[in-house]
Structure 1
Amino acid sequence: MKLKQYRTYFLEKLTPLFDSMEAEQFFAITLEELKGWKRTDLALNPDAELSGAEIEKWNAVLGELETQKPIQYIFGKAHFYGLEFEVNSNTLIPRPETEELVEWIIAENQYKGQLSLLDIGTGTGCIAISLAKNLPDASVSAIDVSEGALATAKRNAQHNSVEVNFMLKDILAAETLPQVYDVIVSNPPYVRNLEKEEIKENVLQYEPHLALFVDDNDPLLFYRKIAQLTKTQLSSNGRLYFEINQYLGPETVQMLEDLGFVNVVLKKDIYGNDRMISCSLQL
């Protein structure tokens, strides 16, 4: 079978489940992963044939996509802030919105020299590793409650040639942080159960709920605990950064102000949703 014919078949199978642009993106990713080709390579080789063995591999990917398994889990990798990360069932797939949080932190701290940074709930390590890569003078640490996630994050740090001090810790049970930090950042669980109907089925089926969901009755649980720990372990000129639930921006700002934080900044993401907060302990 010609590859261009298989492409038609591939897209016909997926368009009932995904929009046409997303199906095209899945084809392009699979083309690169299985054949090492870009779409321009296919255009330049319109009569390229797929062998029987190749068709079996393509069909296996297609079958998993039809179950709505995220393509990042199928190939075991995702891209974030220009870097490649291993992803698996222990980790969330890094999101574009989180790249905006990383960009904000880098922009505000790139000329501050030897900073100490802590990422709480690191998952794949995408935040900590991206910061270590782009703030080379910084000392970066990261914690997570999941041993599986930490093992993945350690491999990602090695793959991306950065030093990050990873620690196994349940932040909700912690009485203190390991040291004083200049930057503390967290993208903790923040999706309420009442918001599950807004979540795509592929996320609900495959991504770890431990890293996603929080009780409806106390949706700011992680933010409050982290902020309380930060109060005694953020340097005088340091800042705390959060990725937040888009529906709880004002409530999160109020909680931080009630705890004594100042210079609280609430930022929207590229989609116009309240998504990031930073604050300090001194004006």
Structure 2
Amino acid sequence: METQAFVDFRKKVNDNISKVIVGKEKIIDKIIVAFICGGHVLLEDMPGLGKTKLAKAMAMSLNCSFKRIQFTPDIMPSDITGLYFYNQKTSEFEFRGGPILSQFILADELNRATPRTQSALLEALEEGQVTVEGNTIKLKSPFFVVATQNPVEQFGTFPLPEAQLDRFFIRISLGYPTVSEEKEVLDRFLLNDPISELKPVVNIEEIEYVQNNYSYVYVSDDIKDYIIAIVDATRKSDFTIAGASPRGSLSLMKASQAFAAINGRDFVTPEDVKEMSAPVLSHRVILNGEDDLFIEKVVNSIKTPHEEL
């Protein structure tokens, strides 16, 4: 495994997106990790912080086809997956594909759609395919979904069930920019939108390489035990109704491998696990109260393994 290929991939994609999105390099790294692992991202944030522009910039950087789906209470599953219609000229039923058949999907305000429509995404997120009237259609590769939720939206929303939240590889938020970062945003967008000048920076061969080889990053038994201890602590905590599932353990290991790779290492360290724990696990636990720092507190309560690498 060539770790330099991962470093170059991360640098090219992150630098290109950062021409549009200011001061969010660490967040972009985590989204790149999710993409490498074949997972999907849930963005929870206030309106106007650049979620749509980030998704578009990443799709353009990766040279992927892009579709934005605006979820509303009246959107139907067929509006996402597509449908069969009767063509009077040919006297046959033909399939008209929906936006989900693109490679890069921005599912905007997912929690405004009804549960029935939300569930239309489940098969695509988990299996990389959709089924329409009994016919299974494979989705293009790479396939990547960035879904957004507005945490202040209260009316006309349908909270995502735990089973659907678990389908997302990581959950993150962009947060407000600093004063200096916001001034740089004003300077960049003063004359035109920099996203209009973005060009692809990686090709399909580079994408396939990082997605097919990140799993070769070495994970020691001590690191595996560390991951399991963190996840197990979420299950035994007095502050949780339900802890993270084994899928959470597996996702945390994969995320740590990819994070190590884009940082030029072919082995996972405890710091990699710490860095990815909150994005991977925060939406996989059910708390009996609100605590945005719960996962960080759990990680800090677990003894960090010390090993000779």
The TM-score with structure 2 as length reference comes to 0.28
- Larger relative contact order, structure 1 or 2 (CA cutoff 8 Å, min sep 6): 2
The TM-score with structure 1 as length reference comes to 0.30
